[in-house]
Amino acid sequence: MTGGNEAELLLSRLQSQFGDMDLSNLARDEEMKDGSDSEESSVIEPTLEEIQAWQETQFQKGKQRLEMKKRLEMSAVQRRRDLLKQQKMFDTEEDYQVVAALPQLEESSTFFPSRDKEGNDFLGIHPMLQELSKGDPEVLGTKWKRLYSSDHGDGLSFQQSWDALKGYGGPTVMLIGSIPSSKHALSGSNTFFLRSTLGFYTTSPWIESTNFFGSSDCFLFAFDEQVNRVKIFRPREDKDKDKRHYMYCHPSFMKSRNLSATNGCVHGIGVGGSPSQPRLHLTETLEGCRAMNYCSLFEPGNLLLGYNALDSLYYFDVECLEIWGVGGASWIQDSLDAQQKERGLAQAAMKKVHNVDKKQFLDGFRYLGGKNFEHIEQTAQRMDL
């Protein structure tokens, strides 16, 4: 075998082992340099230390490529999670110390009062808030921002609550204080004055749609106030994407947008179940809502723990409602900025349509002409055209 062939075979063997590394300096074939085909060539075999060094270098390069590929394939939520993990691990003086996730509520909440029923102040974080944050510590164990509260100036209104959600792109928590529905209560029921707390957490933005949307990065939950525990109902594993009915929002005013027929879909907000019967359904009146024990997507269990839900056939009326943005200050601010931008675009579009309508109205009168319409120009000035 010639020296040239030996060098080529060595390079080929190392190239197959180390991929895209430059291994040309391993072969020292003097006769190849001056173009000779002499068999008196020599090849310097790599030492064990050199091979180990090349292997380590190749491993690090491959690891970097894999991490870069993984990061590029990440969703926005995954990238945010990755950032939150890093912040939680290295926000102390000693970077190896991991701090327990604790949510931070800067505004007051009906569901997480500062005092217990006996009037004693809670020390630190409200116990049920701590329990809830365990459902997703990376996101829920951060700063919370109140977007809507029926008990703190916003009023109990489906429209107001939807305005708080619309255009907000970050994770949200919906907290619902329910009482048994008086319209559906069985005779002799004495549970009207009891309240149950339930809710829904999701990292997916809410949108208007006649179809379900969202991802499995969510869960339903219920508070057991007797023992200060939170029961969480996560999505089941299901490979059939057509059955992933996570979130649903179909306000009745969508009719004016010429969308497809509802085909039996209920109006309001829904989670799980089906468009005609969601597992959790908030009506637009916030009365006659429903929270079922079972659906094919989420884990089974009672969402109405404060009273016997069967007495009202699992129907309830909303007594109070809160919506919170979660995920930390940066994520919340980015979501609020995007929401404000969307609102500005919507207002500009409405103003444009309003001005076009006024112009068309006056143009119609101008088309008619005649002395009876000489006041049109004065009217146009008053309308700031």
pLDDT above 50 (res 94): no
Q: Are residues 294 and 161 in the same domain?
A: yes
Q: Specify the pLDDT at position 3.
A: 54
Q: Specify the pLDDT at position 63.
A: 78
Angle (deg, nearest 10), helices 3-18 and 48-73: 40
Q: Are residues 140 and 289 in the same domain?
A: yes
Q: Are residues 16 and 148 in the same domain?
A: no
* Residue listed under structure tokens 């529905």: 181
Q: Are residues 365 and 220 in the same domain?
A: no
84 in any annotated domain? no
Contact call for residues 218 and 205 (beta carbons, < 8 A): no
Structural domain boundaries enclosing 373? 344-382
Contact call for residues 133 and 102 (beta carbons, < 8 A): yes
Q: Are residues 169 and 208 in the same domain?
A: yes
How confident is the prediction for the chain on average, in pLDDT?
Answer: 78
From start to end of 303-351, where are the E strands? 315-325
pLDDT, mean of residues 12-35: 53
Q: Are residues 65 and 171 in the same domain?
A: no
pLDDT digits (tens, 9 = 90+) for 220-276: 999 988 788 899 999 987 656 555 779 999 888 765 444 444 567 889 999 999 888
Q: Are residues 52 and 151 in the same domain?
A: no
Q: Are residues 159 and 281 in the same domain?
A: yes
**By three-state DSSP, how is residue 92 classified?**
coil
Res. 70 pLDDT band, cuts 50 70 90: low
Q: Which of 164, 159, 240, 246 is nearest to 200 (CA)?
A: 246
pLDDT above 80 (res 18): no
Q: What is the dihedral of CA 203, 293, 196, 118, to 10 degrees?
A: -90
| Domain count for the chain | 3
pTM: 0.69
**Chain-centre distance of CA 37, in angstroms?**
67
Res. 377 pLDDT band, cuts 50 70 90: low
pLDDT digits (tens, 9 = 90+) for 300-326: 999 999 888 888 899 999 999 999 999
Q: What is the DSSP string of 98-149?
A: PPPP--EE-S--SSS-SB-TTSPBP-SS-HHHHHHHTTSHHHHSSEEEEEEE
Q: Specify the pLDDT at position 42.
A: 56
State the Rg of the chain over Cα.
32
**By three-state DSSP, how is residue 204 classified?**
coil
